[in-house]
């Protein structure tokens, strides 16, 4: 698990899933959430922000341990909620194109 001292934040696909409840892991408002977010989409959005990242494809969100979703480790000093909203907006805009 990444340490806070390393400055890495973890992004799970469930954070952006419109079908997930807040209590089920969604971290952004429904108006920014998308259906079935892919790890590649999240990685592309982080890359567009010019932030250093690393993808771990085999990781599983602890509450959904049976689902292999992957995660992204992001190295930034940006607040996590701000980062999540920016990434969500990019994903939403990319899907609208």
CB-side exposure of 72: number of CA atoms within 13 Å?
27
pTM (2 d.p.): 0.87
Task: Name all domains of the chain by residue range, CATH numbers in brackets.
Answer: 4-96 (3.30.56.30)
Angle between helix 39-48 and 80-96 (nearest 10): 110
- What's the rounded Cα separation, in Å, for the pair 11 and 27? 10
% residues pLDDT > 90 (the chain) = 74
Mean pLDDT of the chain: 90
pLDDT at 61: 84
């Amino acid at each position: 698990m990444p340490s806070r001292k390393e400055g890495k934040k973890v992004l799970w696909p469930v954070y952006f899933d419109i079908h997930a409840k807040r209590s089920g892991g969604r971290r952004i408002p429904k108006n920014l959430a998308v259906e079935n977010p892919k790890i590649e989409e999240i990685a592309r959005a982080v890359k567009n922000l010019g932030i250093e990242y690393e993808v771990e494809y085999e990781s599983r969100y602890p509450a959904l341990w049976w689902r292999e979703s992957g995660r992204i480790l992001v190295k930034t000093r940006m607040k996590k909620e701000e980062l999540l909203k920016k990434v969500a907006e990019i994903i939403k805009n990319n899907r609208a194109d």
